[in-house]
Structure 1
Amino acid sequence: MTRTAQERVADALRAAIEAGDIPPGHALPSGEDLAEQYGVHRGTAQKAVRQLAAEGYVTIARRQRPVVRERPRHLTVVRDRSVYRDEIGYFFDRNAQNWRALEPPTRGVAVPPDHVADLLGVPRGQDVLVRHRKMGPPDAKSAHQVATSYIPMALVAELPVLGAEKAGPGGIYDRIEEYFSAPLEWHETISARHPDAEEQAALHLAGNSPVLVVTREARIRRGEEQVVAEVNETRMPANQFAVSYSVRRDSSAAWPREEGVA
Structure 2
Amino acid sequence: MTGTAQDRVAEQIRRAIEAGEYPAGGSLPSGEKLAKKYGVHRNTAQKAVRQLAGEGYLTLTRRHAPKVRDRLRHLMLVRDRSVYRDDLGYYFDRNAKDWRAVGTPTRGVAVPPEHVSDLLGVPRGQDVFFRDRKMGPAGAETALQVATSYLPMALIAELPALGSEKTGPGGIYDRLEEHFDSALEWQETISARLPTPEEQAALRVPALSPILVVTREAHIQRDGETEVAEVNETRMSAAQFAVSYAVRRDASAAWPRREGAA
TM range (shorter): 0.7 to 0.9
**Alpha-carbon distance in 2 for matches of 1:183, 1:103:** 31
* 3-state SS of 2:247 partner: coil
Which range is displaced more, 138-147 or 74-83? 74-83
Aligned length: 223
* 3-state SS of 1:148 partner: strand
Is it true that 1:202 corresponds to 2:224 in the alignment?
A: no
**Offset of 1:216 from its aligned partner?**
0.3
**Stretches (4+) displaced over 4 A:** 23-27, 62-68
1:260 counterpart residue number:
260
1:20 counterpart residue number:
26
- Once superposed, what is the RMSD of the aligned Cα atoms? 2.4
State the one-letter code of the partner of 1:75. Answer: H
User: What per-residue deviation string (whole Å, max 9, x for no partner) do you get for residues 53-74 of structure 1?
Assistant: xxxxxxx6x6468755342634
With over 3 angstroms needed to count, the CA separation of the structure-2 counterparts of 1:26 and 1:17, relative to structure 1, is farther
**Offset of 1:96 from its aligned partner?**
1.0
**Alpha-carbon distance in 2 for matches of 1:77, 1:121:** 33
2:5 counterpart residue number:
none
1:37 counterpart residue number:
none
**Offset of 1:83 from its aligned partner?**
1.0
State the one-letter code of the partner of 2:221. Answer: R
**Alpha-carbon distance in 2 for matches of 1:26, 1:242:** 36
Map of 1:211-250 to 2, 5 A cutoff? 211-250=211-250
**Alpha-carbon distance in 2 for matches of 1:129, 1:145:** 20
Give the TM-score of the pair, scaled to structure 1.
0.78
Q: Judge conservation of contact 1:75–1:239 (CA < 8 Å) in 2.
A: no
Structure 2 unaligned regions, length at least 5: 1-15, 58-68
User: What per-residue deviation string (whole Å, max 9, x for no partner) do you get for residues 135-164 of structure 1?
Assistant: 111111111110000000111111011010
**Alpha-carbon distance in 1 for matches of 2:28, 2:78:** 31
**Alpha-carbon distance in 2 for matches of 1:127, 1:15:** 45
1:41 counterpart residue number:
none
**Offset of 1:22 from its aligned partner?**
1.2
**Alpha-carbon distance in 1 for matches of 2:136, 2:29:** 23
Map of 1:146-185 to 2, 5 A cutoff? 146-185=146-185
With over 3 angstroms needed to count, the CA separation of the structure-2 counterparts of 1:98 and 1:221, relative to structure 1, is same
**Alpha-carbon distance in 2 for matches of 1:207, 1:254:** 45
* 3-state SS of 1:200 partner: helix
Q: Judge conservation of contact 1:78–1:241 (CA < 8 Å) in 2.
A: yes
**Offset of 1:28 from its aligned partner?**
3.5
User: What per-residue deviation string (whole Å, max 9, x for no partner) do you get for residues 213-261 of structure 1?
Assistant: 0000000111221110000000001122111111111122122222222
* 3-state SS of 2:242 partner: strand
Q: Judge conservation of contact 1:105–1:131 (CA < 8 Å) in 2.
A: yes
% same residue: 63
Map of 1:2-151 to 2, 5 A cutoff? 14=20, 16-22=22-28, 28=34, 30-31=36-37, 63=40, 69-70=52-53, 71=57, 73=71, 74-80=73-79, 81-151=81-151
**Offset of 1:79 from its aligned partner?**
2.0
Structure 1 unaligned regions, length at least 5: 1-9, 32-59
